[in-house]
Structure 1
Amino acid sequence: MAQAFVSSDGHRACGICPSRRFPLGEFDVAEGPSRECPFNPDDGHRYTLRGVPVCVHPEKVGLPPAPYKTDGVALLAGVSLPDDVAELDEYLRELVHGAAPGALELLIDLADREIRRAFPEVDATLALRRAFN
């Protein structure tokens, strides 16, 4: 069984999270543990009652709770920059370090466009590079 709380790779998701095993859209995300997504002691993972792998920590995978796999909900990534440019670095750091595996490239592209629109005086590339440090 995978280690439940492996985090040495810089991602906040648990070691047993389906976001580490499946591409985006191939698992559901629930608000938290519940009877609708019980723990399976045989393999150490959680599944919906329909057998779909489920993550129960949306804040760790950077996705809002939704039945992505079960109902075919489209993955929507959004970037909501702060109003104050002084808060930009902290926001971007949280954005990139909390991004779900596979969503990072999309979020970087969205953030780049939004930074250029909202803060034309800011070098978007440098701001995003700082976020990874």
Structure 2
Amino acid sequence: MVKDREPFSREGERPVCAICPSLVLPGGAFDVVAKPSRDCPFDPESGNRYTAAGVAVCVHPDRVGLPAAPYATDRLVLPWEVPPPADAGEVREWLRAALTAAPPDAFAAVIAQASQILRASDPDLDVTAALRSALG
């Protein structure tokens, strides 16, 4: 789901290629695949790769910071927009996935959601220590 129109990546922010669709498209408006393949051929005119349906594709999930998934094709929710788990034991994995992919302006909301779940699970828990542990 594409909520804003800002490019997902900004030059110098992530180690993406100079022709990465994330530099011109918002998160959710392009797909991410694990590596180049014939399923998403390179178009020399635009400098991008596209699916058969014409969706722009990034082929470096590690550089763009998003796990490989058909975000635009299947209208998937981006990792930091996935609802947090209700079970505090699952917060660590969700938090790592969310913050690895999230743009900097989404960090505060992700951390606030994680903190709320952790506080609700154990009011005496040192939330800061738990968050550090999850991210360490």
- Normalising by the smaller structure, the TM-score range is 0.5 to 0.7
**Alpha-carbon shift at residue 115 of structure 1 (Å):** 5.9
Length-normalised TM-score, structure 2 = 0.59
CA distance in 1, matches of 2:101, 2:78: 13
Name the counterpart of 2:33. Answer: 30
Contact 1:81-1:115 within 8 A present in 2 as well: no
CA distance in 2, matches of 1:9, 1:120: 35
* 1:34-113 correspondence to structure 2 within 5 Å: 34-77=37-80, 81=92, 99=101, 103-113=103-113
**Alpha-carbon shift at residue 63 of structure 1 (Å):** 1.2
| Structure (1 or 2) with the greater helix fraction | 2
Contact 2:30-2:55 within 8 A present in 1 as well: yes
Length-normalised TM-score, structure 1 = 0.61
CA distance in 1, matches of 2:17, 2:115: 30
Contact 2:32-2:71 within 8 A present in 1 as well: yes
Higher relative contact order (Cα pairs below 8 Å, separated by 6+ residues): 1
**Structure 2 stretches lacking a partner, 5+ long:** 1-9, 85-90, 120-124
**Structure 1 stretches lacking a partner, 5+ long:** 1-6, 83-91, 128-133
**Alpha-carbon shift at residue 18 of structure 1 (Å):** 0.7
Residue deviations 1:35-63, cap 9 Å, x none? 11111111211111111101011111111
Question: What SS does structure 2 have at the residue aligned with 1:114?
Answer: helix
Note closer, same or farther for the CA distance 1:33–1:108 as it changes in structure 2 (3 Å cut).
Answer: farther
How many residues align? The count is 107
Note closer, same or farther for the CA distance 1:106–1:10 as it changes in structure 2 (3 Å cut).
Answer: closer
- The AA in structure 2 aligned to 1:21 is V
Note closer, same or farther for the CA distance 1:121–1:22 as it changes in structure 2 (3 Å cut).
Answer: closer
RMSD: 3.4
Contact 1:25-1:68 within 8 A present in 2 as well: yes
**Alpha-carbon shift at residue 8 of structure 1 (Å):** 6.4
| Percent identity between the two aligned chains | 38
